[in-house]
Amino acid sequence: MKQPGGIANKLSELGYRLTPQRIMVLSAIEDSDNHISVEEIYAQIVAKYPQVNISTVYRTLELLKRLGLVTETDLGGGRVRYHSAEKGHHHHLVCQECGAIIDLDESVLSSLKDTLLREYKFIAGLRHLAIFGRCVNCSR
Amino acid sequence: MKQPGGIANKLSELGYRLTPQRIMVLSAIEDSDNHISVEEIYAQIVAKYPQVNISTVYRTLELLKRLGLVTETDLGGGRVRYHSAEKGHHHHLVCQECGAIIDLDESVLSSLKDTLLREYKFIAGLRHLAIFGRCVNCSR
DNA sequence: TTTGTATTTGCAACTAGTTTCAATAAAAAC
DNA sequence: GTTTTTATTGAAACTAGTTGCAAATACAAA
Ligand SMILES: [Mn+2]
Ligand SMILES: [Mn+2]
Ligand SMILES: [Zn+2]
Ligand SMILES: [Zn+2]
């Protein structure tokens, strides 16, 4: 079992139990440089502890998401992907034709968020958005 | 069976067969004033023709979506909803706390789309978006 | 260190949606 | 009107994800 990082500390500070299962999910996300899928997280865990159930992984991700510690993004392909909220991140443009994924800076959605807050008094989530469409190569 | 409307004509013009199943899915969407779920579409169909399979409904919706004849939106609650593309529509703000759904004019996303086209040469879909977050009442 | 208890887990059953494949039927050809 | 062709369908098996519940365990209290 790896050492729990920053997310683990926050979890126990908030009164949640630090189970081995949770620590393993956390480690998988923190150790991953890019967006990681449930399948990938579970594969890492099950290699060491085969008795762990995948529903526990789903439940842990649900918790981390709700607490704002990880973000969830649908990048296509029928499975969502996760990312540590601590690390800086991008939104993404996903080409539905060729599958290309273009990174988009956090700031691109700022003015939209501002408008929604100003004109609709609505605090938009939009923490890690993927926008589907067509890239320049595929739009001829 | 109802008379096929504008969408049905387009379908057969594009060379797709006009089956009773497709016409029934189309009618359900065209007759609905608001966003309709697969469950609701299927309930209408099965009441008259119980042998129709729900996978046909899913396949028809997939086709209509791909052709740009209907839009799909995730308004929460674990089921997506559909809307005729011919009728004018709104995007939506969905409060994750109280469930309130606020309509948002088509134009609110225009400047975002413009930016993405100008700076990233990307044609964003964003045909019928739902943005999750917190409404003014729930953000205290 | 042991005990108590509320939280968390594993398991199994469930949901929405997708896919494969043989049977059916819409539309074209005759 | 009948035959032929090929798209479409129904059925069943499958995928990602969720949920209810009894058993297990993290952690606090003694
Ligand atoms: Mn990202
Ligand atoms: Mn709408
Ligand atoms: Zn592309
Ligand atoms: Zn609200």
Q: How confident is the model at residue B18 (pLDDT cuts 50, 70, 90)?
A: very high
The number of the ligand nearest the C-alpha atom of B94 reads 4
Predicted pLDDT at B9: 84
Closest CA to A12 of A62, A63, A53, A78: A63
Contact list, B135 vs chain A (CB under 8 Å): 121-122
Strand order across the B130-134 sheet: A123-124, B130-134, B90-95, B101-105
For residue A5, the model assigns a pLDDT of 65
In percent, how much of chain B has pLDDT > 90? Answer: 83
CATH architecture for residues B90-133:
2-Layer Sandwich (3.30)
The predicted model gives A65-70 an average pLDDT of 96
Q: What's the whole-number average pLDDT of chain B? A: 92
User: Which residues, in sequence order, are CB contacts of A126 under 8 Å at separation 6+?
Assistant: A91, A109, A112, A113, B131, B133
Q: How far is the CA of B70 from the C1' of D14 (A)?
A: 27
pLDDT for residue B117 is more than 70:
yes
pLDDT at A53 over 70: yes
Test B131 with A120 for CB contact under 8 angstroms. Answer: no
pLDDT digits (tens, 9 = 90+) for B34-69: 999 999 999 999 999 999 999 999 999 999 999 999
Task: Tell me how close the Cα of B122 comes to any Cα of chain A, in angstroms.
Answer: 5
Note the pLDDT of residue B6: 78
Fold annotation for A6-84: Arc Repressor Mutant, subunit A (1.10.10)
Q: Is A100 within 8 Å of A111 (Cβ atoms)?
A: no
**Residue B37 exposure: Cα atoms within 13 Å on the Cβ side:** 10
**Domain coordinates in residue numbering, chain A:** 6-84, 90-133
In this prediction, residue A112 carries a pLDDT of 95
Rounded to an integer, the average pLDDT of A108-132 is 95
Whether residues B96 and A122 touch (CB distance < 8 A) is answered with no
Query: In terms of pLDDT, which residue wins out, A130 or B6?
Result: A130
Could you please report the per-residue DSSP string of chain B?
-PPP-HHHHHHHHTT----HHHHHHHHHHHH-SS-EEHHHHHHHHHHH-TT--HHHHHHHHHHHHHTTSEEEEE-STT-EEEEESSS--EEEEEETTT--EEEEEGGGGHHHHHHHHHHH--EE--SS-EEEEE-TTT--
Cβ B80 vs Cβ A74: under 8 Å: no
Residue A89 DSSP class? -
- pLDDT for A23 equals 97
- Residue A92 above 60 pLDDT? yes
Is A2 a residue whose pLDDT tops 90? no
Q: A75 CA to chain B: closest CA distance, Å? A: 14
Q: CA–CA separation, A1 vs A109, rounded Å?
A: 38
For range B104-121, the mean pLDDT: 93
Average pLDDT over residues A43-48: 96
Nucleotide nearest to B61 (CA to C1'): C17
Q: Which residues from A are below 8 Å from B120, CB to CB?
A: 93, 102, 104, 136
SS3 call for A68: coil
pLDDT of residue B2: 38
* Average pLDDT value for residue range B5-22: 90
Whether the pLDDT of residue B3 is over 60: the answer is: no
